[in-house]
Amino acid sequence: MFAHCIRNKLGYTPCIANQDVWMKAKIRPDGSKYYAYLIVYVDDVLSIDINPNEIIAGISNHFWIKEGNNGIPKIYLGANIKKWHIQDEKGKPSECYAISSHGYGYSYCGITYKKHDLTYPSSRRHGSNTPFNNSIYRPELDYTEYCNNELY
């Protein structure tokens, strides 16, 4: 039903390489052409467009959108999204968004450290209780047994 709406009501076409990425050729107010994108994963939708709220409003005409979830995302599918202010090739200030896994990785490491009663040192002091505690460790010389089912 959702794919039918995106295709037939909103005019997007799915990408051949990834059916969860939808695109639509559009024209900016200055007459230049661009592509608007919808990235869909189960019940998460990310709109990449000059006016993304317009697209989300179009979707909300056909589907219920949870209150407060319409806006600039900070996280999408566990990845952090951050706005950057850059200069284009002509030196003109511009904005763009970048995605990173910093928060996900940090959270995952925190859970793993806690599960195995490890601490994350604030400095590289010798003797810290971490798997890789200092510059003396050499992974190529590690003959530790493989993890069993309890220590995956």
Each residue's pLDDT tens digit, 93-129: 888 878 887 776 667 676 777 777 766 555 555 445 5
C-alpha 117/C-alpha 108 separation (Å) is 14
pTM score: 0.59
Distance CA 128, CA 134 (A): 8
Tokens of 135: 């510059």
**Ordered alpha helix ranges (H), the chain:** 2-4, 52-60, 102-115
Per the prediction, the chain carries an average pLDDT of 79
Q: What is the pLDDT of residues 53-83, one digit of tens each?
A: 888 888 888 888 877 767 777 878 778 888 8
The dihedral sign for the CA sequence 67, 73, 74, 78: positive
Question: Which contiguous run of DSSP H or E holds residue 137?
Answer: none
Residues 6+ apart with CB under 8 A from 142: none
CATH number at 2-71? 3.30.310
Chain segment 22-50, per-residue pLDDT in tens: 999 999 999 999 999 999 988 788 888 98
Residue 80 near residue 101, CB atoms below 8 Å: yes
Residues in a beta bridge with 98: 82
- Other CB atoms closer than 10 Å to residue 134's CB: what's the count? 12
